[in-house]
Chain A
């Protein structure tokens, strides 16, 4: 599941050519913007059946925290 999650992040942010780890502070990526947010919300809904509210994104910093939300909401 973790690998699927990481691949999905890479796809949503269009950074397939980079190494991404759960400790990354994803909102500091240059590619992170409101369009990436929409893509990520759609991908998480499509692949994991979870919808993550904007407030959650506002209050987290690392991919690990986002991953925890996805696992808990499933």
Chain B
């Protein structure tokens, strides 16, 4: 069973940064009629998104969030022994973006730094890796950076994906402290479904070429994309979520020895309002304990869970709060966690770049 448990490790603080450039989804009508766009917006619940400008990367958003959080928490940068960068939109194919961020943030050469490549499950996966290393006792403070510029990964002429994704970056500082209780993680994988969400070109299996950048019609509805852009089988992603997530939800609650009534907030990956709404209904959750940021930021892949915490739960996490986190998507890969947020600091949201 892929279940992990930690003790006296927790999140000291969280900060998020988003591009100042705001997209009003109902006005995003360059390629589709306004009536069609309105229908999509109503179904997905995504009114606004943030798009990074051309020269802004995931790492720039994470850098801004990290500097804000380090300043707010008055952390001595020399105490940061571990930096993990979680993303599928890195700066380069090599070196790892975490390595670049170590120098840019002015961290010591004794910092461990590496990248993790997963999508919507990645924040929970990343937390489990960082918690595990911090639990070993040799790390004073750890920085988990999680950023995405998914707005660029999907073709604007493919209506199945053109209105869903936005950009953002977060920073979390993790440390050891006797005030933190136990935390519990469930981590899962089904690579048989690797085709459900995929960007085919640009790696070594199917390198970029003049062919991969060609626009072509990809389905019966006339949607246009290229092999350099993401595709999604929405129906089967939905099937996956409604089959696997309720199972994992029960498993993590049982492993944590708790019940849903004892959870203060359920923070799910923000896929779209229809899917999240149906999931909450199927799990019979009270909506006031299911925070959502889908309306203002759309689907930001792995960033969506911490972005929801920062944007929706600031001022609500004083004292001890028990949270259930559940991330699911590309892979397919899914992960859930139950943990106490003990006086977790939430920084004010940072905006990056021009409007």
Residues of A that sit less than 8 Å from B by CB: 33-35, 37-39, 41-42, 45-46, 51-54, 57
A38 close to B238 (CB less than 8 A): yes
> For B239, what are the chain A residues with a Cβ–Cβ distance below 8 Å?
41, 51-54
Closest residue of chain A to B243 (Cβ to Cβ) is A51
Interface residue range, chain B: 10 to 19
Of B235, B242, B281, B282, the contact of A37 (CB 8 Å cutoff)? B235
Say whether B43 faces chain A, with CB atoms less than 8 Å apart. yes
Contact B234 A34 (CB under 8 A): yes
A23 to B242, CA, bound (A): 29
Closest A residue by C-beta to B277? A42
Bound state CA distance, A53 and B160, in angstroms?
A: 17
Contact A38 to B234, CB < 8 A, known contacts A51-B242, A51-B243 = yes
- B235 lies within 8 A of A38 (CB): yes
Contact count A vs B, C-beta below 8 Å? 42
Cα A37 to Cα B40 with chains together (Å): 13
Task: Evaluate contact between B235 and A41: CB separation under 8 angstroms.
Answer: yes
Alpha-carbon distance between A57 and B236 when the two chains are bound, in angstroms: 11
Contacts of B235 in A (CB 8 A): 34, 37-38, 41, 53-54, 57
Contact surface of B with A, Cβ cutoff 8 Å: 39-40, 43, 160, 221, 233-236, 238-239, 242-243, 274-275, 278, 281-282
User: What's the minimum C-beta distance from A43 to chain B, rounded to whole angstroms?
Assistant: 10
Q: Is the CB of A35 within 8 A of B233?
A: no
**Distance (Å) between the CB of A15 and the closest chain B CB?**
15
Look across to chain B and name the residue whose beta carbon is closest to the beta carbon of A38: B238
In the complex, the answer to whether B234 meets A33 with C-beta atoms within 8 Å is: no
**Which chain B residues border A34 with CB–CB below 8 Å?**
160, 221, 234-235
B221 proximity list for chain A (CB < 8 A): 33-34
A33 nearest CB across to chain B (Å): 7
Contacts A39-B274, A51-B243 aside, 14 further interface pairs with beta carbons under 8 A come to: A34-B160, A34-B221, A34-B234, A37-B235, A38-B234, A38-B235, A41-B239, A45-B242, A45-B282, A46-B278, A46-B282, A51-B242, A53-B235, A54-B236
A54 to B239, CA, bound (A): 9
Complex Cα distance, B274 from A39, in Å, reads: 8
Give the most central of A37, A42, A46: most B CB within 10 Å: A42
CB distance from B221 to the nearest CB of A (A): 7
Closest chain A residue, CB of each to CB of B236? A54
Contact of B236 among A35, A39, A45, A53 (CB under 8 A): A53
> Considering only CB atoms, which chain A residue lies closest to B279 in the complex?
A42
Could you tell me the distance between the alpha carbons of A64 and B313 in the complex, rounded to whole angstroms? 48
The 14 listed contacts between A and B (C-beta, < 8 Å) are A34-B221, A37-B234, A38-B234, A38-B235, A41-B242, A42-B238, A45-B242, A46-B282, A51-B239, A51-B242, A51-B243, A54-B233, A54-B235, A54-B239
Given contacts A35-B40, A53-B236, contact A42 B243 (CB under 8 A): no
How far, in angstroms, from A54 to B242 measured CA to CA in the complex? 14
- Residues of A within 8 Å of B40, CB to CB, are 35
Cross-chain contact B243 with A35 (CB below 8 angstroms): no
Residues in chain A near residue B281, CB distance under 8 A: 46
Cβ-closest chain B residue relative to A51: B239
Instruction: Report whether A42 and B278 are in contact in the complex, using a CB–CB cutoff of 8 Å.
Output: yes
Closest to B42 in A: A35
Given A42-B278, A51-B243, A54-B233, A35-B238 contact (CB < 8 Å): no
Question: Does B43 lie within 8 Å of A35, measured CB to CB?
Answer: yes
Compute how far the CA of A52 lies from the CA of B240 in the bound complex, rounded to whole angstroms.
11
Interface pair B242/A42, CB less than 8 Å apart:
yes
The residues of A that contact B274 with a CB separation of less than 8 Å are 38-39, 42
Q: How far is the CA of A38 from the CA of B277 in the complex (A)?
A: 12
